[in-house]
Amino acid sequence: MLSLRKKSSDAEEPLPAWHPDFRNFQRLPDTKVIRTSFLIGGAATLIALLLLTWVSYRAYFLRDLHAQLNLVQGQIDRDKSPSDQAIAQYKKFQAESARVNEVSTFLKSRPVVSDLLLNLGKTLPDYVAIDRFDLNATTLNLRGTVRGAPDQASGRASTYLQLLKSDPYFTDKFSEITLLNLNRGTQNNGLVLELSFKLKEAKKP
C-alpha cells in the first residue's frame, strides 16, 4: 500500500536530469517584453514627477496667497486714513449725542404736569370736583368730592375709578391707581374721595 505522506527532502537525493543542459543563458536573447529595471525606473520617474508637480502646485498656491495679501494690504493702506478720520468723527458724535441724551433723560424723568392736569380735566365727570392735587417723586394723590347721596356717590366714585383705570393716558403713566378713602365730608354734599396714582418707573430726581 502506497503511503500518502510527502517524503522528506533529505530522505532521498533527487535524480539527475536525464540529459545534460547545454544552454548558455548569457547568450540567449531576453524573452521578457518589459524588463524589471524599466518598470522600477518608470515608477521612480512617475513618483518624482508627481512630487514635483505637487510642490509646484503648492508653490503656485503660496504665490497666489501672497498676491492676495498684497491686495488686502493695499486696501488697508488706502482705508487707514479715512477710517481714522471716521473714528475721530464718531467719538465727536458720541460726545455730542451724550449731551442730547442727557437733556432727553432730564425731561422724560418726570411727567409733564400741565398734560397731567389737562387729562384729568378731560376725564373728570360732572359729579366729581377736585380739591387738592399733590404730585411727589413716586405718587400723585388726588383729593376731591363726589356729589350725591352717599349710596349714589360711592357708586359714582367706583365708576370714576374704573374710568381712570381704563384711560390710555393714565395707564401709560401710572402703574397703579387706587382708592384710598371715601368718607363723608364736613359739608353734607357728597363724599370725600382720595385717590393715589403710582408713577411708572418712578425715578428720584
Partner 1 sequence: MSNLELTGAVKRHPLRMICIGVAILSGVGIYLVNGKIEETQTLLTQKSAEAERLAANVRDGAQLPEQVNALTAAGAKIQARMIKASQLANNLQYFYRLENESGVELLDVRQTTSGTKNAAGGVGFAVSVKGDYPTLLGYLRRLEGGPNYCRIVSTSIAAPTPDRSGLLTLSLNLELLGQP
Enumerate binding residues for partner 1 (CB under 8 A): 37, 40-41, 44-45, 47-48, 51-52, 54-55, 58-59, 61-62, 65-66, 68-69, 72-73, 75-76, 79-80, 82-83, 85-87, 89-90, 92-93, 96-97, 99-100, 102-103, 106-107, 109-110, 112-114, 117-118, 129, 131-137, 186-187, 205
| Residue in 190, 135, 188, 126 with CA at minimum distance from that of residue 163 | 126
| Residue in 82, 173, 97, 185 with CA at minimum distance from that of residue 135 | 173
Nearer to partner 1, 134 or 176 (CB): 134
| Least separation in angstroms between CB 172 and partner 1 | 18
Nearer to partner 1, 70 or 178 (CB): 70
| Least separation in angstroms between CB 149 and partner 1 | 19
Q: Which residues contact 185 (CB under 8 A, 6 or more apart)?
A: 145, 191, 192
- Provide the 10 A C-beta neighbour count for residue 193: 26
Nearer to partner 1, 59 or 180 (CB): 59
| Least separation in angstroms between CB 9 and partner 1 | 37
Separation CA 53–CA 114 (nearest Å): 86
Helix (H/G/I), strand (E/B), else coil: 2: coil
